[in-house]
Chains A and B, each alone.
Chain A
Amino acid sequence: MKSAKIPQWTGDPVQPLPMADVASRVAAGLCLVEEARSNPDIWALTSDVLNSTGLVPFAKAFPERFLNVGIAEQSMMGIAAGLATCGKIPVAATFGFLASMRACEQVRSDIAYPNLNVKIYATHAGVALGKGGTTHHALEDVAIMRTFANMTILEPADVLETQKVMAAAVAHQGPVYIRLRRGPGPVIYQGELAYQIGKANLVREGNDLTLIGCGRTVGECLLAAALLTQRGISARVLDMHTLKPIDDEAIAAAARETRMVITAEDHTIIGGLGGAVAEVMAELGLATPLRRLGVRDIYAGIGGEDELLAKHGIAGPQIAAQVMQFLE
């Protein structure tokens, strides 16, 4: 499973997508403020990472509904569970590695198992905290959260979708893991965006093969699709914003209507998006070739976010180059 060297794109570059002018976590914090204006039951909690999670505006707007529990993520999940039993909608915010791993068992036993209405607001997903190094990367969180019954997992691809995800998460009854990034990402959507939990968005039509991304990699898949047109390849791109429950219909359609399915995730290829898609295809008996791109059973190493995405083959040009290799 360990990868050989990641091939590089040798064709012309394409215009990168425009970047959002606001960091993902900041956008998420502002969306939460909007939700909280009309919903007095929304509370926010953090474990001393108020500024890192973009919750300062929430704390300022609703100081009576905001709690800093100290550097104590496990306790935070338990407190959120308790608040949920009192009819509140607690949003527990911390880094993804802490939400999913430090507080893992509290999330399972105190939140998922009793099916409590807690929203886990997990920032700095994937290699977004690239320079923080391995401890601060969240490359296993989707795999972990996916195994918890009752858990829904949402990962927005850009700012507009973050709004939709926040609104859907608080409206949904039951635990939700919201996977957010650190810095600004590319703009994918403009204008109206229809959004429904569990229903993947088709962001680009194509009939040769399908690229499935989630969060940051949706933009990278779009870039790859644009590059692939240079080689006469028409790639469909799906935004799998709901990692659980996953959209089996969109996956089945992709496997039936195109000749190859490629997943790209800022996560280990074990148990995340690629794993979920593989499970669906295998159980439906769909033998269309599948390739999973992501971090291949190693620790990602340190570096800037973009450097690491390229290093692990999940930046647009590397996705396109690998697709060409798969097709050979």
Chain B
Amino acid sequence: MTINPTRLHELEDMARRVRRHILTTVHAAGGGHVGGPLSATDMLVALYFHILNIDPTNPQWEDRDRFILSKGHSCIALYAVMAERGYFPVSELITFDGIDSRLQGHPDMARLPGLDMSTGSLGQGLSPGVGMALGARLRNKPFTTYVMLGDGECQEGQVWEAAFVAARYRLGNLVAILDLNRLQQYGWQEPGGMRPPLDDPRRQWEAFGWQVSVVDGHDITSFVEALSTARQESDRPAIVIAHTVKGKGISFMEGDYSWHARVPTDVELARALAELELREVQP
């Protein structure tokens, strides 16, 4: 599945719109996450506008591809993409975080049609993904299940419990995506801190029996190609390890963990939106 230049341009445009929604919505709500959503934006746009076999007018369609945002705190990006894709009006984004909104601070499938799983407690999303992939196989359904994980999230043991069993059951219809931005909420930022020595996700996932590819998660073309390759093997689950930048797209947020869940001030919002505009006119 390749992308022609016009299509690529449209998707990149969409990613900019989504980034704008993320910033304006979190700003208006006075709460929410920013860094993780911006890191995942390009991949979510590629998934919902180019890869997933879905029908927004029929969110319960049995044969639809499934998508689980295991790093559920990044849901404002998912909501923005879903709104643009037609699951609900873009005007509803403003209700984010409001009392009784369908757009909860972490995704709630019982409220918002189109969500395939409720998430928010990290480390849990891959297991339901395994269940869905098994369900598809047992019922002879053609759909693929995609699960997006955060790299910090993979410190949870449950991720590896699910990784083990997915390979055991040869779930070729399960694709994980690792949003590898190398930052988390706090991590080991203090001087003298260090990341664990075995911190090479490719080796980790290969050791667990997964098919692994490594791409730039902000390069939509290679991300889409990696996903189509991932789906070709029928007897191994696949993971696309996507190198990303937390806070991607806004210079003063990029690579700064303090933007994990910080609300931009009016001035910061204006600066951020101006940067997005600027990027639009540049080739």
Contacts and interface: CB of A to CB of B under 8 A. Distances in A.
Name the residue among B32, B72, B122, B153 with the largest chain A CB count within 10 angstroms: B122
B120 A136 contact: yes
Contacts of A97: 121
A72 B122 CA distance: 9
A133 B187 contact: no
Interface stretch (B92-100, B126-134, B200-208): B92-100
Interface size bracket, B side: 20 to 34
Given A136-B120, A304-B99, A71 B105 contact: no
B185 interface: yes
A51 B101 contact: no
B160 to A, nearest CB: 11
Given A71-B123, A302-B99, A302-B105, A51 B186 contact: yes
Name the residue among A102, A131, A308 with the largest chain B CB count within 10 angstroms: A131
A52 interface: yes
Nearest to A73: B156
B58 interface: no
Name the residue among B100, B105, B185 with the largest chain A CB count within 10 angstroms: B105
Contact of A48 (B98, B106, B118, B187): B187
A48 B186 contact: yes
A20 B112 CA distance: 37
B159 to A, nearest CB: 10
A68 B155 contact: no
B30 to A, nearest CB: 9
A135 B156 contact: no
Given A48-B155, A131-B97, A68 B186 contact: yes
Interface in B61-108: 72, 97-101, 104-106, 108
Nearest to B186: A50
B105 A132 contact: yes
B94 to A, nearest CB: 14
B252 interface: no
A72 B108 contact: no
A71 B153 contact: yes
B99 A70 contact: no
B105 A131 contact: yes
A134 B108 contact: yes
A302 B123 CA distance: 22
A303 B186 contact: no
Interface of B: 29, 31-32, 72, 97-101, 104-106, 108, 118-123, 152-153, 155-157, 184-188, 190, 192-193, 196
Q: Which 5 A-B pairs have the closest CB atoms?
A: A303-B99, A135-B120, A133-B104, A70-B155, A71-B155
